[in-house]
Amino acid sequence: MTLWGHACCKEVLRLLHEVLAILKQVFAVTDFDLKQRIGDAIMAINGVPVGGTGTFQIGLVPPNGVPLQSGPTVSADDSNVTLGPVGSDLSFTAAVAAGDTGTSFNITVMGVNGIGTSISHVFNIPILAPPPVQVTDFSLNQTS
């Protein structure tokens, strides 16, 4: 192999690395999106009732961006809210304690994108009134 051929190969590899670095920046995940799952439906955030659990799914912005280096992870600003781990499908649960008196809580989604930049987004989740108590049985009173 001639010196020219060797230097040429090194230059091609250097240029390819530069192109890959540019593509990573162009297609890097820059933000998060959050939707609520109710059954099989994924929709806008509706909220979680007091004493109940909601399931949420994290979306990446852009959706086909370079994979994250780490994360996403989630945290809540309300000690009466317990978050489950983020699954491989980027979903997690949020359980609101029965005694929570707040009207909402914040979930922060955090991660490090493909170019090493830390990204995070705060989402406000309404706390809904508990569902009405449903009739489960009958009683019978004698009136005369």
**Which amino acid belongs to residue 138?**
F
pLDDT at site 46 = 94
pLDDT at site 41 = 86
* Cβ–Cβ under 8 Å, residues 95 and 53: yes
Name the CATH architecture for the domain at 29-128: Sandwich (2.60)
Instruction: Record the pTM.
Output: 0.76
pLDDT in tens, 16-26: 677 666 656 56
Identify the CA nearest to 121 among candidates 67, 81, 46, 71. Answer: 71
Half-sphere exposure of 61 (CA within 13 A, CB side): 11
pLDDT at site 39 = 84
Which of the two residues, 4 and 96, has the higher pLDDT score? 96
Question: φ and ψ at 41, to 5 degrees?
Answer: -90, 140
Residue 88 is encoded by which pair of tokens?
Answer: 């491989």
pLDDT in tens, 67-89: 899 999 999 999 999 999 999 99
pLDDT at site 26 = 61
| DSSP-derived secondary structure for 48-103 | EETT-EEEEEEEEESTTSBPPSEEEEEEES-TTEEEPPP-TTSEEEEEE-TT---S
**CA–centroid distance for 65 within its chain:** 15
Residues 121-136: what's their mean pLDDT?
92
Name the pLDDT band for 127 (thresholds 50, 70, 90): very high
Name the pLDDT band for 144 (thresholds 50, 70, 90): confident
Sequence spans of domains, the chain: 29-128
> Residue with structure tokens 């009739």?
135
Q: Which residues contact 127 (CB under 8 A, 6 or more apart)?
A: 47, 48, 49, 50, 96, 100, 102, 103, 104, 105
Q: Which residues contact 113 (CB under 8 A, 6 or more apart)?
A: 28, 29, 30, 65, 66, 68, 69, 119
